[in-house]
């Protein structure tokens, strides 16, 4: 019987925003399968804490600090990874931010902050990684989008715009790089129950609204997203490109 996901052992995978929440869970899932995971983030303390957890599975994992809203930091991350491991097998563009405000109150700075990290950084990280993947004639890029790419929601004009753009970017890069052996896909989660969203769910009216829109019972967990990413990175998805898998408990099915 085939040992599924065993092909990930020794593969080099970058997970941006990998020190907390969904990103950390994705990184841990891959490290447990013996992938060489490189996590990035801005907070050195959080990065080192997450790296210690990764090392319980694979001591080859490493961390690169940086602000991915700066293209030079993106190039440093990709370059350092290639220098350390000699190749880049997969990139998970997970780093993101949301500034929840009514549309009439969104400032130019708010808009630029959200679009820069959620969309611009994902493009330039993909571009930098693809240069190495093209030389290898193989590679997988996974963009963490959102159900908000497919439907609107209150106080999220900039966020919805950034994630909608990310889904379209996923398709465009999949088309352009298919002949070079690169697959580009996305995962679109609903609201996830993490330490980062705990304060948000203290608002009972908001929590009830979210739960009422999700068809399946309860709130999504990080492992639900990690499972979709694991599938797309694995050999099970070798004929899938340009797709975005919704992990939203049926929110967008209605």
Q: 62-65 and 90-93 as β-strands: parallel, antiparallel, unpaired? A: unpaired
pLDDT tens-digit series, residues 35-76: 999 999 999 999 999 999 999 999 999 999 999 999 999 999
Residue 154 bears catalytic tag = no
pTM (two decimals): 0.97
State the Cα–Cα distance between residues 186 and 247, nearest whole angstrom: 10
The 10 Å Cβ neighbour count of residue 149 is: 23
What pLDDT is attached to residue 199? Answer: 87
pLDDT score, position 148: 97
- Angstrom CA distances, 239 to 20, 100, 170, 232, 243, stand at 30, 37, 15, 10, 11
Angle between helices 44-55 and 21-32 (to 10 degrees): 30
Contact of 230 with 29, CB cutoff 8 Å: yes
Report the alpha-carbon distance of residue 228 to residue 159 in Å, rounded.
Answer: 22
Q: Are 183 and 174 in contact (CB under 8 A)?
A: yes
DSSP 61-78: -EEEE--TTSHHHHHHHH
Q: Which CATH class is domain 9-248?
A: alpha beta
User: What residue spans define the domains of the chain?
Assistant: 9-248
What is the pLDDT at residue 105? 98
Kindly report the backbone phi and psi dihedral angles of residue 188, in degrees, each rounded to the nearest multiple of 5, phi listed first. -120, 95
**Residues 164-218: pLDDT tens digits?**
999 999 999 999 999 999 999 999 999 998 887 888 899 999 999 999 999 999 8
């Amino acid at each position: 019987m085939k040992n599924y996901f065993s092909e990930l052992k020794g593969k080099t995978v970058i997970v941006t925003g990998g020190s907390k929440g969904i990103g950390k869970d994705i990184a841990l899932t891959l490290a447990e399968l013996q992938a060489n995971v490189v996590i990035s983030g801005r907070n050195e303390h959080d990065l080192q804490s997450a790296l210690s957890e990764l090392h319980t599975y694979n001591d080859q994992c490493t961390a690169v600090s940086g602000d991915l809203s700066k293209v030079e930091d993106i190039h440093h991350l990709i370059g350092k990874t290639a220098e350390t491991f000699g190749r880049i097998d997969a990139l998970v563009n997970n780093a993101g931010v949301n500034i929840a405000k009514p549309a009439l109150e969104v400032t130019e700075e708010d808009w630029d902050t959200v679009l820069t990290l959620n969309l611009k950084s994902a493009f330039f990280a993909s571009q930098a990684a693809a240069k190495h993947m093209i030389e290898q004639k193989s590679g997988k890029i996974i963009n963490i989008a959102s159900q908000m790419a497919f439907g609107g929601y209150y106080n999220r004009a900039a966020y919805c715009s950034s994630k909608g753009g990310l889904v379209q970017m996923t398709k465009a890069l999949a088309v352009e790089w298919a002949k070079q052996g690169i697959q580009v896909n996305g995962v679109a989660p609903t609201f996830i129950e993490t330490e980062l969203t705990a304060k948000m769910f203290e608002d009972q009216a908001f929590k009830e609204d979210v739960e009422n829109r999700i068809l399946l019972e309860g709130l999504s967990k990080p492992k639900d997203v990690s499972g979709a990413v694991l599938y797309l990175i694995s050999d099970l998805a070798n004929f899938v490109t340009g797709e975005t898998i919704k992990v939203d408990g049926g929110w967008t099915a209605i």
